[in-house]
Structure 1
Amino acid sequence: MSLEREIAGSDGSLLHRRMQRVRAFMGRHPLFLLLYRALVILLGFLCILAGIIMLVTPGPGWLFIFMGMSLWGTEFHWAHRLNLWARAKVLATWRSFEAARHRRNRRKTAQRWAKRSNHSHYCPSGCHYRISKPGR
């Protein structure tokens, strides 16, 4: 489950801590805060727009949409809540995909095992199960 580990580790990363310090500095200077908010809104909008374009053209569209929503999530509470909801849905989908893949692989292994004439041990390559025909 490396996806879950990566998501969990991103909240306390070095970049996240630096951005909190920059945000605290901006909070003490009204002009910088206004410029910062305008820049965040503009970059978030551009990321979301690029992501929407990349949905119909080659490129990582959903990644850019989530990046734009994450940027907006630093300024807008509704965007942060939407991002948390989307993260939960992505993780749930990922877990169900992994579980289905695991079930499919176990089913294939069981089918291969059932076809074997020698059931005393399992050999993935199948080299021990070749039956030589008489006369060869």
Structure 2
Amino acid sequence: MRADRQTVWDVLADFGSIHDWLPGVDHSCVLATAADGPVGTARRVQMGRMTLVETITEFDAPAALAYDIAGLPRWLRHFDNRWTLQSAGPGATTVTVTSTVDLGPGRLRTLAARVLCLLLGRLSSDTMLAGLAARSETAHA
């Protein structure tokens, strides 16, 4: 991204404001904050008729942010995203988002989880990265 790491982090770590930069999010807000820091903070994300609750599991400013996602179909036993930010020279940042899916035990479910992650990578992750880049680069300008 054409923005320094701190600028990108500031957008990403404003946890209740994902609606400001992610297309398809109608509304988002912080539901609960943890008394001893960001880990445990939860946000509500509304996308059409789907409501998700995302809870921070890792917060290492300005390098990494991870959160669990609840509210998806039951067959998705566990879903999370982990963002990492690395400086890529003056005014540039390399951002990676990694999604982890658990569909349960068994070879068929493991294979299905891999396929689902590939699809999410092409659709959701690319959209999230593009939205974050657009917002960060605007904030940087």
Q: TM-score of the superposition, structure 1-length normalised?
A: 0.28
* Structure with higher RCO (Cα < 8 A, 6+ apart): 2
Q: TM-score of the superposition, structure 2-length normalised?
A: 0.27
Higher strand fraction (1 or 2)? 2
Higher helix fraction (1 or 2)? 1
